[in-house]
Amino acid sequence: MLDEIAFFILILCYIISIIMLYYSLNKEKTRKGVRRRILKNWVFNNIDLKNMNAVQAIRNLIIVNNAFISALLVLTGLLIGLFSNIFTDNTIFLWGIIPSVSIKIAQIILVGFFVMFCLFNFINSNRMAANLSFLITTDPETDVVDKEQKEQNILLIRDTFRISQRSWMLGIRGIFYLVATITWLIHPVVLIVSSVIITLYVILAHDFSIFEKRLPG
């Protein structure tokens, strides 16, 4: 019973976290909202054929993503070894609704989901960042016949960057909940506590941390 409660609390916390992430992106005074505005301005300010600083920033993002991807692949190998005796466990999960799924199988499915979720988002972020590295060093006025086409070129660059950044944020958030899921191997109570703490942390410290006006001195 406790395992089922911990499972549903984790899923609920994760859903709330994703909803709050997207909601906070549209709020101007939150950290995510301010960050979105700064990055949007960064794109428009760096659409320049000769600006190599922008390309270097994109390369840094790709390097970080590659580090996360490598770490996740190593973790996957370790977890495969850890769960090598998984099919010897017959503990009932979800009150026997799915007879073939035990608690250990549910654990590896959930861990596998978050690993694949993180890998997908980091790889997608790299894919869009690679496209952006070409787009941002191309003059948007090249081969343009009217103002509308120029605006379309700029919007494509902006949307490519936005997708890359959001995939990166989703990948990072997935890592938080992957860590929480791994704590299920210790005890379901540890999973409950870690899920709640992680959710409160990412929402209060990152999504809805309000910038207050401070006087100098």
Comparing 20 with 135, the larger pLDDT belongs to 20
Question: In sequence order, what E strands does 12-164 have?
Answer: none
CA angle at 148 for the pair 144 and 153, rounded to the nearest 5°: 60
Cα separations in angstroms, 87 against 83, 90, 191: 9, 8, 22
Structure confidence at residue 215 (pLDDT): 37
Mean pLDDT along residues 203-208: 76
Backbone angles phi, psi at 210, to 5 degrees: -90, 135
Lookup: tokens for 172: 């990072």
Check whether 159 has a pLDDT greater than 80. yes
Which sign, positive or negative, has the C-alpha torsion 29, 31, 32, 38?
positive
Contact 90, 102 (CB under 8 A): yes
Average pLDDT over residues 56-75: 81
For the record, the structure tokens of 53 come out as 């600083």
- For residues 33 and 158, the model is more confident at 158
Mean pLDDT of 49-55: 61
Q: What pLDDT was estimated at residue 193? A: 94
pLDDT tens readout for residues 103-127: 777 888 888 889 899 989 989 888 8
Lowest-confidence pick of 78-82, 139-143, 150-154, 169-173? 139-143
Contact 30, 209 (CB under 8 A): yes
Separation between Cα atoms, residue 93 and residue 188, nearest integer Å: 13
Contact 55, 134 (CB under 8 A): no
Q: Which amino acid is at 138?
A: T
- 11-25, 85-99, 162-176, 185-199: segment of lowest average pLDDT: 85-99
Alpha-carbon span 91 to 95, nearest angstrom: 10
Per-chain mean pLDDT for the chain:
77
Check whether 217 has a pLDDT greater than 50.
Answer: no
At 164, the pLDDT band (50, 70, 90 cuts) reads: confident
Asked whether residue 49 carries a pLDDT value surpassing 60, the answer given is no
The predicted structure's pLDDT at residue 192? 92
The residue among 111 and 27 whose pLDDT is bigger is: 111
How far apart, in whole angstroms, are the C-alpha atoms of residue 207 and residue 201?
9
